A and B are shown apart, each in its own frame.
Chain A
């Protein structure tokens, strides 16, 4: 064995380094390594609440049960429907709002102050507000349609499978748009003015500039937003808890809510863990793509 002899100063510096880094590392390690091991081990056993004394090893049975379950398939279908609605909406709206924020009008200055507000409040609170707006006996949305004469009686929007998912989507986009518009705004402001001047000198009109200059330069930001919003859409939970409780008839039971349901309502921990591992695996794919996108583009110099 070779003794490692560090110079006194180096030794003291290393000791300082570990003393400052280890509190964070140990805390994170406790809450990362144990949950990972736990999820793997549990997913291979039959663990149900009403039989806590026997947890037989069942191999991949939980995984097979989960994948074969029709609820699993429908949860993914709902999740993908939701994501395919939420991502384009949040992206396009963010793009449009960023242009408004970038203006020099009084309205723009005012929007700049208020745009963060939906992002700032707890997601459950925004869910509660939107659930009220769509409420069937006193909701503002029903009230507005009624006042305008578009409906004759209030409609239970949150109790119909299709409109319920739309309502959640509306609330979700409201919460996400501040982030996407701020990201687009930062990207817009990073485009040098000379490019616009050059395009104008060449005789390009507003639309041509938008199509030939702005949009191509915003593609990296758009990719980041799309992948990020996809991940956020997949793990949506809070809104569903307060707006629909996964209903009606499971129509808004997205994958995260389904996971919550199988663990905390059905108390089938083995299947829940298997589901958690599958969800984590699916997300890791997205995260890897996301990291790849960030690495390939050095867009911002904040």
Chain B
């Protein structure tokens, strides 16, 4: 009996290590690739423990100085990898857009959700259902009409286009998630505040918001990450580095077979840093939010 239990524990640990490897090895592999010269990466079989380390790939992305021994494969190849240098402006674009989307969700989403959860007004039910049901459209089915709307508004290849589209996608989730959350908060406190002469916005800002801070954090984290991670829409409504986001730049650089692997690895590492940091910091909120979003009606 005891031996069986110990065997079980050992099996569990082995399984745990296998899972950890499955999850982490891809990250490690890219991180290691970004700090090795390209020749090392093409060794067969690969050096499982890197022998030569270099910061050349990073220096190329930040300063444009080609890694040593790089030009020998041709000029065309240099031009292809040059595109990877767009990673820095693209990171800036992504951050500006994602932060704005998160703010829009926090402001518009919170106000709407609070109203849906507390006030009764003609049409409340149908409007709420409409907002939620809007997410039933599969993304790929609305790509062309979205493009046409953005074009008509004269917003192609501008931040505003991405902010609009990402907000349209995240707001229904935020409204739904926050409405459910607000409903669970007992209204006694704000009613006292309202009686004392607070207006509704003041009650929301000073009484309800502090009590629901975890839900607000989850909302901000979710909308930031959706916007930052979105690929298809960013692909359709952007066309130049003026507004292209980091997933678009990295994807379009990486699918070119001639590109330098080490250089793209750098852009991949840079792309992953913000969402990974976010995921670590807001881990508990995100976990709770994920559960609520997938399992609440």
The B144-188 residues at the A interface (CB cut-off 8 A) are 144-146, 148-149, 164-165, 167-168, 171-172, 175
> CB of A31 within 8 A of chain B?
yes
Residue contact B141 to A121, C-beta cutoff 8 Å? no
Residue contact B275 to A300, C-beta cutoff 8 Å? no
Bound together, the chains give a CA A24 to CA B131 distance in angstroms of 8
Residue contact A14 to B276, C-beta cutoff 8 Å? no
Bound together, the chains give a CA A119 to CA B42 distance in angstroms of 29
Residue contact B168 to A35, C-beta cutoff 8 Å? no
Bound together, the chains give a CA A152 to CA B138 distance in angstroms of 44
CB neighbours (8 Å) of B124 from chain A are: 17, 21
CB neighbours (8 Å) of A110 from chain B are: 20
> Residues of A within 8 Å of B, CB-based: how many?
97
The B224-242 residues at the A interface (CB cut-off 8 A) are 225, 228-232
CB neighbours (8 Å) of A228 from chain B are: 294
Stretch at the interface among B70-78, B114-122, B205-213: B114-122
> CB of A69 within 8 A of chain B?
no
Residue contact B247 to A124, C-beta cutoff 8 Å? yes
Q: How far is the CB of A301 from chain B (nearest CB, A)?
A: 10
CB neighbours (8 Å) of A132 from chain B are: 29-30, 33, 261
Residue contact B130 to A143, C-beta cutoff 8 Å? no
Residue contact A183 to B20, C-beta cutoff 8 Å? no
Q: How far is the CB of B83 from chain A (nearest CB, A)?
A: 14
A140 to chain B: closest residue by CB: B29
CB neighbours (8 Å) of A143 from chain B are: 44-46, 48
Interface SS of B by simple majority = helix
Contacting A36 at CB < 8 Å: which of B22, B122, B137? B137
Bound together, the chains give a CA A132 to CA B146 distance in angstroms of 33
> CB of A57 within 8 A of chain B?
no
A38-B144, A263-B144 known; A96+B15 contact, CB < 8 A: yes
Stretch at the interface among B49-57, B59-67, B105-113: B105-113
A241 to chain B: closest residue by CB: B251
> CB of B220 within 8 A of chain A?
no
Residue contact A276 to B140, C-beta cutoff 8 Å? yes
CB neighbours (8 Å) of B134 from chain A are: 28-29, 31-32
Further pairs besides A96-B15, A182-B287, A284-B136: 4, Cβ < 8 Å: A13-B119, A16-B119, A221-B295, A283-B138
A: residues with CB less than 8 A from B are 13-14, 16-18, 20-21, 23-25, 27-32, 34-36, 38-39, 42, 96-97, 100, 103, 105, 107-108, 110-111, 113-133, 137-138, 140, 143, 146-147, 154, 174, 177-179, 182-183, 186, 206, 221, 224, 228, 235, 237-238, 241-242, 245, 256, 259-260, 263-264, 269, 272-273, 276-277, 279-280, 283-284, 287, 291, 294-295, 299-300, 302
The 9 A-B residue pairs with the shortest CB-CB distance in the complex, in nearest-first order: A276-B141, A35-B145, A120-B279, A122-B229, A20-B111, A17-B121, A143-B46, A35-B142, A38-B145
